[in-house]
């Protein structure tokens, strides 16, 4: 019986972890959050149906867009997911590294690049905070 509780607890704590960097307590609406994200990553290559998952174009380690991604051996892309049913949202940022595999002649995902993820997350958080500053306007003449 105790073993069953231990296994259940283990699945709860281990199974719910998502890799990447999180920005928590985002009080911006989803549309404003998307604007802040696209200000950093540029026009996304892929946007989910509900608009909460954005995937950037392929870029290098300095976040410069690749003109011809087939001529490089390593490429990266940024994936941003807005989590939560309502405000405050949580924003998950991941920078995925892909390496060209000569046998298959395709790019294969290697995994998450932690240092680039943190750098990209700082940029998105800065843009997000700037958007928050612009939206919080207090009307002193008519407060109610």
Is the domain spanning 19-134 CATH 3.40.91? The answer is no
pLDDT in tens, the chain (144 residues): 555 544 544 444 444 556 899 999 888 999 999 999 999 999 999 999 999 999 999 999 999 999 887 789 999 999 999 999 988 999 999 999 999 999 999 999 999 999 999 999 999 999 998 887 776 544 444 455
Q: What pLDDT shows up at residue 1?
A: 58
Dig out the tokens for 29 from the structure: 């609406």
Burial 109-130 (b: 16+ CB within 10 A, else e): eeeebeebbebbbebbbebbee
Confidence (pTM): 0.79
Q: Which two tokens stand for residue 142?
A: 């008519």
Is residue 52 within 8 A of residue 29, CB to CB? The reply is: no
pLDDT at res. 131: 80
């Amino acid at each position: 019986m105790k073993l069953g509780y231990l296994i259940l607890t283990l699945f709860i704590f281990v199974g719910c972890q998502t890799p990447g960097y999180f920005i928590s307590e985002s009080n911006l609406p989803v549309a404003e959050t998307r604007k802040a994200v696209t200000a950093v990553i540029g026009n996304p290559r892929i946007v989910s149906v509900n608009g909460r998952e954005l995937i950037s174009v392929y870029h290098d380690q300095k976040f410069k867009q690749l003109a011809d991604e087939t001529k490089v051996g390593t490429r990266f892309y940024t994936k941003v997911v807005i989590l939560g049913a309502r405000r405050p949202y949580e924003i998950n940022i991941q920078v995925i590294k892909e390496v060209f595999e000569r046998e298959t002649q395709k790019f294969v995902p290697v995994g998450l690049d932690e240092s680039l993820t943190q750098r990209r997350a700082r940029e998105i958080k800065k843009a997000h905070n700037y958007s928050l500053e612009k939206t919080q306007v207090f009307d002193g003449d008519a407060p109610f």
